[in-house]
Structure 1
Amino acid sequence: MDTGDGWDFTGRVVLVTGGTRGIGAAIAEAFLGAGAEVVVCGRSAPGAPPSAGGRSAVFVPADVRDPVAAGAPVTAAVERYGRLDVLVNNAGGSPDADAATVSPRFVEKVVALNLLAPFYVSQAACRVMRAQEGGGAIVNIGSVSAHDPQPGTAAYSAAKAGLLALTRALALEWAPAVRVNHITTGPVRTPDAAAVYGAEGVAAVAAVIATRRLAEPDDVARACLFLASGLSGHVSGADLAVHGGGEFPARYLAVRAADGAV
């Protein structure tokens, strides 16, 4: 896909799943600020759609876990703007759960949201992108849990690992018309993170990250701009880590603690 020089997405159309809040809203606002027309989708309408530069995203209701409903935002984008240049599969997440006792229904929902939904929406997007001049780019928002699972995240970690493998498979299968890339995100400073960790917890998590801070939603958004732009024209099947260098190994922290350094 050729988006011209730098971050100019004027005339381009972008779909962000789960784009009404948190990381997704920041991604939508970044593309709006770069000149794109943006469509966001979610299960419920936001109080106000993401906005930037005096323009707002268009909201389309959709439960992307449903293989039929997943194509609706793609159809809406094409009907309104005539094309679709970028898909960001951002919708995802899961509460922690004990793998020994979690219900099959819970597992199915987590896998559907974090693995199957990106597959379904990407299929619909690919059909459009392959048929249009310039092709398109897909960016999948993943997690460090795909590489380093934590207790309570078995279903989520397995689904995110599958998303990374799916990215690489689609990059091979859909080239050259469609580029498909993956972003591995670490902890991100969002209202949800603040609610889970609390102020002291956020500081404690930041202390074990190499850059000594959580990612901001804009950090992820800027990575999306790069992977969707002409600056990454020969990048496909890649996994871009946006995690501040990762977390220090437990043994390192243990030694530092024993020495009184942390």
Structure 2
Amino acid sequence: MNIKQASKQSGVSAPNIRFYEKEGLLNPARLPGNDYRDYTEQDIRTLRFIRMLRMLDVPLPVIRSVLAGDASLGSVLREQKTALEQRAKQLEGAARFCAELARQDPSVASLDVDACLSRMEDPAQPQNFFCGWVQDYRTLAQVQHQRHFSFIPEGSINTPQEFTAALQTYAKANGMQLSLTKEGMYPEFSLDGILYKAYRNPGKYRDEICCDAASPEQLNTGLPSRRERQLQVLRILLPAAFTFAAILAAGWVATGGADWLWLAALAAAGVLLGRGFEHRL
């Protein structure tokens, strides 16, 4: 069969077939008289085999060694599996860094390129276990805050105009860009490009304004799902652990013993229940 037929049956383009021949991966027979290539079924199988290994990103020199019998397919696949796993870790780190930069939404002029390159080129950074967890925890906390946040305005909120003024004051105090799309007691607006809906939570002494992202599913951390679940659990447990430690330490200083252990445990349990309830909401 000719090269056009071979390309159709193997799924390999004609230029690539010629390239593989040039690289010594394929050596089709030639027709007597006109010297045209004559591809056999075995050649088609070889082309499909090359195509399969290239889809696994196996380098051409390694494929050549396999076809020549100088390397076993099993050993090559095991080595490639290790290489792909290492690359996946690098890509995972790159994806997380991209997500972090995207959340900051920098401009070309404001981006600290040198700092970015230092982080990306530092081979020790991915191995820094503690700093990695701290950075991921900060990322999770930032995204959670973007999905839902609340604040206490100055004075009560009784009119749409007062609601708008409170949002403007909050945005200005935090250096954020506010764009109001719907005024009212349930206003809709954007902060730094993120769309929100807000409502007033009346209190006995002060009102609270609660803001929910209109599309929270679009605000993702860029972290692996397992890592994010672990950090969410940690975010619930940490305040309770710190509360327990603080009360126990205060009791030890005050009485010289562990007499406040029950109070520390009770307070920590209360904080834990509160954080768990808040997470469920």
Q: Same fold by TM (over 0.5)?
A: no
**Structure with the larger strand share:** 1
**Structure with the larger helix share:** 2
State the structure with more CA Rg. Answer: 2
Relative contact order: is structure 1 or structure 2 higher (C-alpha 8 Å, sep ≥ 6)?
Answer: 1
